[in-house]
Structure 1
Amino acid sequence: MSPPAFASRLRAWHQKHGRHDLPWQHPRTPYRVWLSEIMLQQTQVQTVIPYFENFLERFPDLPDLAVAPADAVMNAWAGLGYYSRARNLHKAAQWCMIHHNGHLPEDYDALLALPGIGRSTAGAILSQAHGSRHAIVDGNVKRVLTRYFAIAGDASSSAVDKQLWQLAESLLPESHMADYSQAIMDLGATVCTSRKPQCTTCPLAADCLALAQGNVLDYPGRKPAKSIPERETHVLLLRSRSGEILLEQRPDKGIWGGLYSLPEASDADQAQARAVGLITAKSPAPISLPAFAHTFSHFRLTIHPLLWDACTAKSQIRDNASIRWAAPDELRQLGLPAPIQKLLKRLP
């Protein structure tokens, strides 16, 4: 099939069966497209929609995001995971205020220079918000192309990735870029799905090489699956007599980067030692709360909470930038990891 026919068939399918009511499509501004593309990295559409709407309500445009406190941005993001995405959004907005008059640049290379924006995100912003001829190669597009062209090999490898970009750019239509970009992403998300592709309704089925070979599910190729490592941690739940919770801000790098969380220790003995440095000797002995697990993309973490109730903190904590007391109403304003939020809600 020629590139014009490929694009035409996709667009015709999309007009009847594509998604036309996603919140970032109305209006399809650069800021809204950018925000949606960042949120949709590693995250499903239905999960993203309420976060997108809440985030947009709090930060309606790029200048609002740029001047917002970091804690407010992280709070709006809390629960979506991959928190470096939120930090990069914030940094990119601030950069745009200084260097691009408060707007996302329309130049491809200038977009790529912003924190958190790669080739596919830059292509999405320019093609959907400005109608420019730039390709998108996200997970959905990779799946469509590897199946349609029967491209073998690990789709995350540099060799296959390079091939996919070349193909994606060769298939770009001369016009209607916003519709085409949305169409190929929608096809991957709703028809050419990972586990149960609906090949009988696919507009590209007649020419799909993987379908002709009868091995659609073999594409895209992946690395052999590895077992998920198991890790454990102990969290110190220090609650004052007035109900305040002692929080510690995590480093920017690593899991829950930049969020406030509970102080951690590798085991119960270290937790006790940390508590000695944080609270007065008059505080009661800790209570072990039920352990629970939280699964990340690359490991499974078992969390053992230890509760020191009605405790009194040492005075120097008041002057520590990374450790602070937070009243119950303040907890709702800070960015806390989702499992920690759930733990605090279950407190007796």
Structure 2
Amino acid sequence: MNGVCSAIVAPLLSWYDQGHRDLPWRAQPTPYRVWISEIMLQQTRVEAVRGYFERWMQSLPDVHALAAADEAVYMKLWEGLGYYSRVRNLHRAAVEVCEKYGGELPADYGHLLALPGIGDYTAGAIASIAFGFPVPAVDGNVLRVAARLDNDFTPITDPKYKKLTRERFAAIMPTDRPGDFNQSLMELGATTCLPNGAPLCSDCPVQHLCLGYHHGNAIQLPVRAAKKMRRTENRTVLLIRYGTLIGIRRRPDSGLLAGLWELPALEGALSPDAVRQALGVRGWQMEKLLSLHPAKHIFTHVEWRMTGYYVELAEPPAELTFVTPSALREEYALPSAFRPFLTVLEDEE
């Protein structure tokens, strides 16, 4: 048994050919479609991405359309996917591709890697799937498959392990079907060599070559370095109304959710009296204050625990932008953390 070796190539490709998931970006694997899908799939489940991908392609079907798009357009299309730096990098890269490469993604791994937001994995996916270059695309799924194949207890979060894994898959990459081979590894990790719970070893086309399986260690692998503790922040979120309009504001240009629209918030879990006092200090003339259901939202390194209030004002403060509920839904990208506090608006419709 040799773990990651050339013997896995044929059975993996045969298994992939016999039946893999029907995903919209696989139907037409153009460089642009592969690029957009791979960026969307980072930190996001496949099923969640389907609808986003199809709506994106209807609105921004090519690099030129993305490069020319207003920020409000691509941010709204991305709303709910999170990690908003990804979509900003998509736009930056599209502009660069138009300026340097005439609106066509470069058919060169190094040039792809140099574009904003494109790392080793994404460059490898585009290069192999769209252009047919024999380069690996190593993501978390592939690292997990490799650790089990090799019965390797090195933490897969170790950059050295990822580098070694890329080198090992590069050495066995089939030159005639590199994109399919990379996708077969992704497919195996997503559907069979599962990340949470027991892998479905009886369904695995390379079970006979898997050292982790034969040593009885597959369920214990892969090993990850201990995560840093996620800090908790208490916030008081305000659904501000002036007549029929909703008050929103821009977040700072740096930090978490940089530059996005948000419902106004105060630090801490404030009582109704504390909210009245805080708004009074700002000179906001409050006519009504109602409690909303609390909510929480988990980011990578921080968890927001949110107390919510519905607030009606007598006058619109200058520091907020007031929009209609329909405009908020259709035109402004509001992070999903704030969605629980918008349910009260649904009762009005």
TM-score, normalised via structure 1 length: 0.90
In the alignment, is the contact (CA less than 8 A) between 2:193 and 2:201 conserved in 1? yes
Structure 2 residue ranges without an equivalent (≥5)? none
Matched with 2:79 is: 78
Shift, 1:85, TM fit: 0.9
Give the AA of the match of 2:325: P
Is 1:303–2:306 an aligned residue pair? yes
Matched with 2:325 is: 328
Question: What do the CA deviations read for 1:274-319 (whole angstroms, capped 9, x no partner)?
Answer: 64576644x32533322211222333211112322143124x44xx
Give the AA of the match of 1:96: V
Give the SS at the match of 2:105. coil
Rounded to whole Å, the distance in 2 between the matches of 1:181 and 1:207 is 18
In the alignment, is the contact (CA less than 8 A) between 2:232 and 2:302 conserved in 1? yes
1:278 to 1:131, Cα distance in 2 relative to 1, 3 A = farther
Give the AA of the match of 1:55: W
Matched with 1:95 is: 96
Rounded to whole Å, the distance in 2 between the matches of 1:270 and 1:137 is 51
Give the SS at the match of 2:293. coil
1:300 to 1:262, Cα distance in 2 relative to 1, 3 A = same
Matched with 2:116 is: 115
Shift, 1:91, TM fit: 1.2
Shift, 1:191, TM fit: 1.0
1:271 to 1:118, Cα distance in 2 relative to 1, 3 A = farther
Bigger CA drift: 56-65 or 296-305?
Answer: 296-305
1:270 to 1:157, Cα distance in 2 relative to 1, 3 A = farther
In the alignment, is the contact (CA less than 8 A) between 1:191 and 1:202 conserved in 2? yes
Is 1:234–2:236 an aligned residue pair? yes
Give the SS at the match of 2:238. strand
Give the AA of the match of 1:121: T
Is 1:128–2:126 an aligned residue pair? no
Give the SS at the match of 1:210. helix
Shift, 1:68, TM fit: 1.1
Is 1:17–2:15 an aligned residue pair? no
What pairs with 1:252-263 in structure 2 (closer than 5 Å)?
Answer: 252-263=253-264
What pairs with 1:23-42 in structure 2 (closer than 5 Å)?
Answer: 23-42=24-43
Matched with 1:293 is: 296
Matched with 1:210 is: 212
In the alignment, is the contact (CA less than 8 A) between 1:192 and 1:202 conserved in 2? yes
Rounded to whole Å, the distance in 1 between the matches of 2:78 and 2:275 is 29
Give the AA of the match of 2:334: L
State which of 337, 340, 343 in structure 2 corresponds to 1:339: 337
Identical columns (%): 36
In the alignment, is the contact (CA less than 8 A) between 1:66 and 1:90 conserved in 2? yes
Matched with 1:320 is: none
In the alignment, is the contact (CA less than 8 A) between 1:279 and 1:313 conserved in 2? no
In the alignment, is the contact (CA less than 8 A) between 1:238 and 1:311 conserved in 2? no
Rounded to whole Å, the distance in 2 between the matches of 1:9 and 1:335 is 45
Rounded to whole Å, the distance in 1 between the matches of 2:343 and 2:309 is 15
Q: How many residue pairs end up in the alignment?
A: 339
Shift, 1:206, TM fit: 0.8
User: How big is the alpha-carbon RMSD for the aligned residues of Structure 1 and Structure 2?
Assistant: 2.1
Shift, 1:258, TM fit: 2.7
In the alignment, is the contact (CA less than 8 A) between 2:295 and 2:340 conserved in 1? no
Rounded to whole Å, the distance in 1 between the matches of 2:210 and 2:177 is 24
1:270 to 1:56, Cα distance in 2 relative to 1, 3 A = farther
1:58 to 1:212, Cα distance in 2 relative to 1, 3 A = same
Give the AA of the match of 1:346: V
Rounded to whole Å, the distance in 2 between the matches of 1:42 and 1:244 is 34
In the alignment, is the contact (CA less than 8 A) between 1:3 and 1:172 conserved in 2? no
Rounded to whole Å, the distance in 2 between the matches of 1:274 and 1:35 is 43
